[in-house]
Amino acid sequence: MTKLDPTILLVDDSPVNLEILKETLSRYNTVCASDGDMAMEIAFSRNKPDLILLDVVMPGMDGYEVCQILKSNELSKDIPIIFITGQNDSTSILKGFEAGAIDYITKPFNMLELKARVKTQLSIKLARDQNQRLINKIRTVNKKLTDSIEYGKKIQKASLPQDHFLERVMPEHFIMLKPRDIVSGDFYWVEEVHNKLIVVAADCTGHGVPGAFMSMFGVAYLNEIVGKNGFSQPAEIINQLRKIVIDSLKQDEGSEVKDGMDISVISIDKQTKQIEYAGAFNDMLLIRNEHLSIYQADHMPVSIGESDTPYTNHQINYEQGDCIYLYTDGFPSQFGGPNDKKLMQKGFRKLLQEHHQAPMAEQHEVYEDFFATWKGVNDQIDDVLVIGIRL
């Protein structure tokens, strides 16, 4: 026998019975106890047994009481207990199972039957222990990964425009960002250049960590395109961004990596009261006097695609009080509601029209509450980003 062999605790006040049990179960490690107190001391120890064979009639505490105590204690509750006793009436057997035993063997026992039952229960116990070890290992690995991603969330948040900057440069607005996982493939970006305010809403390929990597690339590229090189026309910003993504990820027609992003970019010129907009799959909505206008994006990704024509640049004269909405597809695509269906673009636009006259901060709360209610018990299927701006 080795230390890896299962250990069985034999509890009986008769030395003769203990010897017979030890001989019958000689292939296993066995330890003996002549009463309940000794049995509990062994069961609570560091080297606790894998199985307990427990007599019922003993001096002091009987087997039922010992079993109940062992099953109520965190140190011993997982140890399987088999009663082995001369009490073989149905009432006694039922009482044994109610106390927490997994099996009940009556004396005089059949040796082959005893061995078979012990082997079965030990196999179940050892398999359960192995499963628990695997579960604990998975939990440890998962915690390390989660802790790393949580730290990544802090880095990602630090890369986004800070609140004090947004309060200084942005008109009345709200930003609703809800990652599906801890980190997000959706991101927003804001900068001032040439007396224009550039606002970006983007949806990178994937969720979680892959999406977050792409979002960090997107932020860095926009800093270079707008902040360093001074591009301010939305269509040209996206054109430049597409070139950098294709070059950086070494994409070609046969490339397996075709990751990129859907994006909407606007520039706001307060002096000329003009908005410029360009988009890759992400539309822009404008609500004026309760009328909603849809400015459609080009159906070309910011990555390698079937077409590499320039993106369309829209120019719109705005009026005071106009509401602009940039968003990714996470909100309209969410399953929920009474029929467990997607909200869809139509439902999302209707929601915006119903509440666009409210202050932007209040709208933010309305859309957060609506999304939570709509989603209900369903999982969030995608990252969500909605930006509202009142001009």
Q: Which of 86-90, 91-95, 119-123, 220-224 has the lowest mean pLDDT?
A: 86-90
Residue 149 lies in a domain: no
Q: What is the C-alpha separation between 86 and 73, in angstroms, rounded?
A: 27
Tokens of 89: 């009436």
Q: Specify whether 233 is located in the same domain as 365.
A: yes
Q: What is the C-alpha separation between 171 and 84, in angstroms, rounded?
A: 80
Q: How many domains does the chain have?
A: 2
Q: How confident is the model at residue 256 (pLDDT cuts 50, 70, 90)?
A: low
In the predicted structure, residue 370 carries a pLDDT above the cut 80: yes
Q: Specify whether 268 is located in the same domain as 375.
A: yes
- Burial class of 218 by CB neighbour count within 10 A (0 to 12, 13 to 18, 19+): buried
Name 335's bridge partners.
342
DSSP strand E in 303-350: where? 314-317, 323-327, 335-336, 341-342
Q: Specify whether 128 is located in the same domain as 268.
A: no
The whole-model pTM stands at 0.74
Residue 357: other Cβ atoms inside 10 A:
13
CATH number for the domain that contains residue 25: 3.40.50.2300
Q: Which domain holds residue 238?
A: 160-390
**Residue 274 CB contacts under 8 Å (≥ 6 apart), including other chains:** 315, 316, 317, 318
Name 32's bridge partners.
10
Residue 6: other Cβ atoms inside 10 A:
21
The pLDDT value given to residue 3? 45
The pLDDT value given to residue 88? 83
Q: Specify whether 327 is located in the same domain as 363.
A: yes
In the predicted structure, residue 238 carries a pLDDT above the cut 80: yes
DSSP strand E in the chain: where? 7-11, 29-33, 51-54, 81-85, 103-106, 172-178, 186-193, 196-204, 261-269, 274-280, 284-288, 291-295, 314-317, 323-327, 335-336, 341-342, 384-390
pLDDT in tens, 58-103: 988 999 999 999 999 999 999 999 999 888 888 989 999 999 999 9
Contact in structure between 35 and 78 (CB atoms under 8 Å): no
Residue 152 lies in a domain: no
Residue 213: other Cβ atoms inside 10 A:
18
Residue 49 lies in a domain: yes
CA-CA-CA-CA dihedral for 90, 92, 95, 101, to nearest 10: -100
Residue 105 lies in a domain: yes
